[in-house]
Amino acid sequence: MVKKKIDIEYIVIWRNLNNVASAEEQSELRIWLDANDKHRLLYEHIKVRNEHDVVITEDQIEQRWLKLQHTLDKKPSIGIKRWLQYAAAIILPIAVAAGVFYLSDKSETKLEMAHQITPGSAKAVLHLSNGELLELDDENKLFIEDEHGNVIGVDSTNTLRYNANASMQASYNTINIPRGAEYQLVLSDGTKVWLNSESSLTYPVNFVGESREVLLTGEAFFDVTTNREKPFIVKTNKSSVKVFGTQFNVMSYADEAIEQTTLVEGSIAVLYNNQEVMVKPGQQANIQSSGAEMSIVEVDTQLYTDWKDGVFRFEEMTLKEVASKLSRWYNVDFYFANEDMKGRMITGAMKRSTDFELLMSLVEKSAEVEIVINENTVLVKGK
């Protein structure tokens, strides 16, 4: 009996290892693993490398991946030891080619200050309706009270949760996420919100009117509890997003040239400049800061939502755009020696927990630039 050849793309393996794979991709991986013992050996080898945060770009890994598959097709009787050598060939040369390496303390490098720059963590400042400020983090458990001393919510394990019937009064709280931070929020109706760095959300302690309205600046992912009688509305300084129960991401930073609303599942209506447009799953509503009309485009939603699962993904993204995202998460300031540097393109993926030193090494190699770090300032210039 001839077995059918089963192929798989590396990105499917990568998404499974980083817990961001879809149900279809999980099934695809299981079928691929069951098809061949060599597949399982390769998977385990890549898994070890992934756990050590070795960062590679999709284009580079696919080239090695195809080369390895071609080699194996020609050598069906390859031994295990030899097989592992081929498997290692996927990772190690790519790591060098991508500029990913660990620098020792004795190394002389322009990145010697990078060890002081750390990835973001769970932090936030909560503004209560009575003017009180509370600092939230992943260490302390806090009980949130209203002005009458009634407990309306609890903050613990990186998440602020409000009670289902927190208060019947029309009082509002605001949660601010500083640079180098993120936080999760569960509103009184059960809606879950993931807030990215340098973002703010103003919301009622309890939704008592005919709609559920919140005000967002920055970026957030929403998993909205369904309630057909009381639509959920996200307002930004440019638009309003009306939903009944769905998952979507809104990116609306004041310093960005575009506002993006990306729908994962369900349906939403985006209201802008007296225009209301329905958005379908897999689509994105774009609003330019120049005031042009809203446009709807088809997108890979994971490019815009993986951040909430601890992953950066860049696909043909300019260095300026990449720097904007990294500056918020690592709390650094990027400067470019000339305008040409800003337009360099980068494609790749890495965990948001990646060491900044390694990440800058990758950027240097991929974008063919030189990076100089001085405390929390990053200068990008030509080689």
Q: Within a domain: residue 22?
A: yes
Based on the domain organization, do 157 and 253 belong to the same domain? yes
Radius of gyration of the chain (CA): 23
Counting every residue, how long is the chain? 383
The reply to whether 33 and 128 lie within a common domain is no
Residues 231, 144 within the same domain: yes
Q: Does some domain include residue 1? A: no
| HEC-encoded secondary structure of the chain | CCCCCCCCCHHHHHHHHCCCCCHHHHHHHHHHHHHCHHHHHHHHHHHHHHHCCCCCCHHHHHHHHHHHHHHHHHCCCCCHHHHHHHHHHHHHHHHHHCCCCCCCCCCCCCCCCHHHCCCCEEEEEEECCCCCEEEEECCCCEEEECCCCCEEEEEECCEEEECCCCCCCCCEEEEEECCCEEEEEECCCCCEEEECCCEEEEEECCCCCCCEEEEEEEEEEEECCCCCCCCEEEECCCCEEEECCCEEEEEECCCCCEEEEEEEECCEEEEECCEEEEECCCEEEEEECCCCCCEEEECCCHHHHHHHHCEEEEEEEEHHHHHHHHHHHHCCEEEECCHHHHCCEEEEEEECCCCHHHHHHHHHHHHCEEEEEECCEEEEEEC
* 158 within a domain of the structure (yes/no): yes
Last residue of a domain, one of 256, 287, 304: 304
pLDDT at 82 (0 to 100):
40
- 191 assigned to some structural domain: yes
Which pLDDT score, from 0 to 100, does residue 69 have? 52
Which is it for strands 121-127 and 181-186: parallel, antiparallel or unpaired? Answer: parallel
Contact status, residue 29 vs residue 12, Cβ threshold 8 Å = yes
Q: How many angstroms separate the CA atoms of 59 and 319, rounded?
A: 17
Do 330 and 290 fall into the same domain? no
- Domain presence at residue 109: no
Rounded to whole angstroms, the Cα distance separating 239 from 259 reads 9
- The whole-number pLDDT of residue 131 equals 87
Q: Does residue 257 share a domain with residue 239? A: yes
CA dist., res. 264 & res. 269, Å (int): 13
pLDDT value at position 83?
39
Amino acid (one-letter) located at 297? V
Whether residues 81 and 130 share a domain: the answer is: no
| Domain identity same for 275 and 318 | no
Q: How many other β-carbons are positioned within 10 Å of the β-carbon of residue 51?
A: 9
**Could you tell me if 279 and 371 lie in one domain?**
no
Domains: count for the chain: 3
**172 plus 285 within the same structural domain:** yes
In a domain, 152, yes or no: yes
What pTM value is reported for the model? 0.72
Q: What is the span of the domain harbouring residue 325? A: 310-382
244: domain CATH number?
2.60.120.1440
Going from the first residue of the chain to its last (383 residues), give the mean pLDDT of each consecutive group of 10, the final group possibly shorter: 51 75 83 77 66 49 54 43 40 35 32 66 92 85 77 84 73 94 94 97 90 96 93 94 92 93 95 91 91 88 94 90 96 92 88 88 86 90 83
The answer to whether 10 touches 61, Cβ cutoff 8 Å, is yes
Report the amino acid identity of residue 208: V
Domain co-membership, 126 together with 230: yes
d(CA 347, CA 259): 21
- In a domain, residue 370? The reply is yes
Given 285, 304, 323, the domain boundary residue is: 304
| Domain boundary, last residue among 276, 304, 332 | 304
| Distances from the Cα of 362 to the Cα of 64, 99, 144, 366, angstroms | 18, 5, 43, 6
Structural domain contains residue 241: yes
Same structural domain, 174 and 264? yes
Q: Which CATH number covers residue 329?
A: 3.55.50.30
Q: Give the per-residue pLDDT at 201.
A: 98
Is 361 within 8 Å of 110 (Cβ atoms)?
no
**One-letter amino acid of 37:** D
What's the CA gap between 324 and 161, in Å, rounded? 30
Residues 156, 67 within the same domain: no
